[in-house]
Amino acid sequence: MDMGLTSRVVVITGPAKGMGAAITLAFAHEGARLALVARDADACAPVQAEAAAAGAAAIVLRCDLLDGAACAAAADAILARWGQIDALVNVAGGAGPIGKTGVETTQDEFDEIVLLNMRGPFNMIRAVAPAMIAQGAGRIVNVGGTFGMRGKAGRLAYSSSKWGLRGITKSFALELGPHGIAVNTVAPGMVDGPRFRTKVAPEMARRFGISEDEAVKRHASDYALRRISTDRDVADACVFLASARARQITGADLPVDGGWAAL
């Protein structure tokens, strides 16, 4: 299916590895022109090369997402290069303290992850919105998480930041909708990748006295579809919401979690 993304200019934050790299390459294979925005620009070189190998034009911009002026400068550089910004995918974020109750979480730990997971997307949306408003069209996709839909004991700071990101999404959807701009959230659940295989599954195996393979199966059993999401599952959802195929969808939360958040 043609997603209508050929030659569209797509800005992606946090593109260097994992989910961000998978999302970047999914857009590359759709023929989009890519602006990869990251604090560590050097770390983006491998995914930039892969995107180029797929035939996509890709530039890398060094940017501290917590600095609004830096985000505005990145948007200006993209416009100077290509003259348009058609989509923004906010992937960059952090995990915050893991296994700490809200009482145990320090103020600094709370502030750090809330700033990263909320101010970064806020700054980038503010940076690209004027160009999208001038065009009368645009797509914005914020990558959240299912802990921002159901909450999670031991992950209060992270969960709070992702609940807040949903508020950012819905408010911008209302404000930017009259200008033809759709704003949505993709909410991944647990993603089968390095962190899951080296931390989550081994920890579950130790806790229950089972093998790591059994831990993977037990984790998958929490989901209606009985399988754990992959980076590509998340990437496909982002591509869809950034495409013309999703023209009538805005302010939505799309869980990509095999049914966990809905149960």
Domain limits, the chain: 9-191+231-256, 192-228
Global pTM reads 0.91
The helix or strand, by DSSP H or E, that contains position 60, with its residue range, turns out to be strand 58-62
pLDDT of residue 70: 96
pLDDT of residue 154: 64
pLDDT of residue 165: 93
Sheet holding 138-143, edge to edge: 58-62, 33-38, 9-13, 87-90, 138-143, 181-188, 253-256
- CATH topology classification for 9-191+231-256: Rossmann fold (3.40.50)
Look-up: residue for tokens 């990869």?
Answer: 36
Look-up: residue for tokens 């802990």?
Answer: 147
Taking 50 as the pLDDT cut, the residues of the chain under it are none
CA 134 to chain centre: 25
User: 223 catalytic, yes or no?
Assistant: no
pLDDT of residue 96: 61
From the candidates 147, 158, 172, 196, which is the catalytic residue?
158
pLDDT of residue 257: 85
* Token couple for 112: 């750090």
pLDDT of residue 93: 80
